Structure 1
């Protein structure tokens, strides 16, 4: 069995570690890799779309990252409990027409005993931005450790 540490119950430090791990995974833009941290029967609500299970997660993320180009994400811990974590996030991307967006949201996560994410609820708002208004300029992939957080950026 794969190690999905940290596992519940969460402390502040382990919740922060779980959030950064999720951010790093999503910034890889690799649907197969990302799906492995979700339980086999994981249930999502993402905006108005309902997703169940890893196969649907892979399909969802494949579609997402074919539309949201140059995707860069920052997540930040908001709150945590024994087996739950709440995060806020913002990501920047552009569409195939070159229009840039900053998408702000909140997620509520529930984990199983093995540390796999079993339930994910996401609420997201998209704001059009100009290329000059972008704040995420690191090379595609993992956000550098010294890059400002959402709070540092005033988001």
Structure 2
């Protein structure tokens, strides 16, 4: 009796499919979902600020922390002991914006006040909280039921 050999491509395909399936399941785990409507975390410490081209802080990153500290003091941001927030320049991003850290951490109202004060400055193009960016589910779309028109 003649025996037909099994297809080796089928055997290798099955051998690679299962590990690929398991790895893709692991990759889809990620971080827990966060509420997309919350712009500012309850305790915010890092901010991204982009100064307009040609301004002094845009040309010299060493001036950024001092400018933001002045804005924080002008906005009345002090801790429980009345000490003004300390601002530390962390790095310049590829888009030209600067990441700064504020110590002590600001609550949501203080962070909002700082962002509004920064955006009111003529030299600032934009200011936003620095948060973790993740891929998450899109908005929930309402579905129509047949015959519910």
Larger Rg: 2
Q: TM-score, normalised by structure 2?
A: 0.31
Q: TM-score, normalised by structure 1?
A: 0.30
Higher helix share: 2
Higher strand share: 1
